[in-house]
Amino acid sequence: MSLADVVRSLSDLRVHGPPYGEFTIARLLKESEGRWTPLFEKVRDGFTGVGNILDSRAKLYKYLGVTSDEDAYVKLLDALEKPSRFERVSTWRDLYREVDSLYDLPMVRYYEKEARPYLTSGVVVGVGVDGVMNASIHRFSPIDARKAVVRLVPRHLYHIFKSSIETGREVPVAVAWGVHPLVLLAAASSPPFGVFELEVASSLMNGLKVMELDNGAVAPFMASVVIEGHLTGEYADEGPFVDIVGVYDRVRRQPVVRVEKIYVLRDDAVVHYLLPAGLEHILLMGFEREAKIWRAVRSVVPRVRKVRLTRGGFGWLVAVISLAKSVEGDAKNALLAAFAAHPSLKIAIAVDEDVDPDDPVSVEWAIATRLRADRGIFVVPYARGSTLDPVALNEEGLTHKIGIDATRPLDADPAFFERARIPES
């Protein structure tokens, strides 16, 4: 299924048209997130744009075919553990036209101090020395008609890049822009090295077709734009760019992609604009980690009602876990399990089942009324955290982590903690 097919299935579309100022699309993405799905007609000749296709759990659960957090977590975790083979399609070239330059693609700037237009939802497929493939989402920005700089963090594609360059080999890559939302979800996940994320997507979607490029990389069939090239040993300045925490990431020297071919669908070329630090970015980046926290916490406490990587923590740095404890110490074990399941986590908060993690006022109320600071707060010093944390102690994300047990003390009278309610008339 192409992204155009996905768009046609949406019921909350609101159409926008040209002219587009430099930041018009970014402003409309921010204005519409959580409210409607914006469709941008004629963003460039032959291109339509769309955004906020994954800005709510309701949309994600619709694509997954589930109705609850637990079902969504189980489906994603099962796909990560049991990826399925995809089908290779050889007759795809007639569906595409070629364009000469990256500047022919309708990339945009999102924030005023960003260095240049960016592709923010591109799925980058890299091929390792041993043939292992990885698919992950990386920000990608042109520095020439046939060159782009890509931000690599120290995960699987970075490992493929480093091990390849050390042997004098460039990395064959494909960059797919405008793909099915579940391909994005799979690419945003972190299965063990060697598990190919497009096979995870195939499991989620009950089958996925891919097209093989001349350089040996593959891309999802019917992706709106496919960029073929090689990740080289050349470096260029990347940034500034707004990352998940909503601040400008610093300028770094990052690898350059040499572009060899640029394919665009002849019909229905719909590209996906993903607002950095927006609701869609937050949900995509954090959902798989939330599922892993849920699984880890369930193994150490009797019952887990809800897990949330919070909006205030940008779906990455702060987790709230609503649980039932049977003995003192359960909550602390749950918090430690959360830190182990999501190493980038900076703050973890445990609350009782009557507190909704989606309601920050309710969470604050639990901290105000149920936390005993002398025994409910602990610090994990000098632990590896997130490189996205602006106050991390070094570039590797070294930090101090905080666990907060805001559950009701079991040795206190429960009557003092009952939430007052007004009955129905």
Catalytic residues: 243
**Bridge partners, residue 259, by sequence:** 229
141 close to 149: Cβ distance less than 8 angstroms: yes
Instruction: Name 355's Cβ contacts closer than 8 Å, sequence gap at least 6.
Output: 322, 362, 363, 365, 366, 406
Q: Nearest 5 degrees, angle CA 9-CA 13-CA 17? A: 125
The whole-angstrom separation of Cα 341 and Cα 74 is 15
Buried b (16+ CB within 10 A) or exposed e, 9-39: eeeeeeebeeebeeeebbebbbebbeebbbb
Q: Virtual CA dihedral for 375, 376, 380, 386, nearest 10 degrees? A: -170
Specify the DSSP class assigned to residue 355: S
Where do we find the tokens 């609350």? 351
DSSP letter string, 176-236: EES--HHHHHHHTS-PPTT--HHHHHHHHTT--EEEE-TTS-EEETT-SEEEEEEEEEEEE
Structure tokens at 40: 């941008």
Q: How many CB atoms lie within 10 A of CB 108?
A: 21
User: Pairing relation of β-strands 147-150 and 252-265?
Assistant: antiparallel
Cβ–Cβ < 8 Å for 314, 386 = no
DSSP structure class, residue 244: T
Q: Is the dihedral of CA 196, 141, 63, 282 positive or negative?
A: positive
Amino acid at 237: D
**Both ends of the chain: CA-CA distance in Å?**
50
Q: How far apart are CA 132 and CA 153, in angstroms?
A: 18
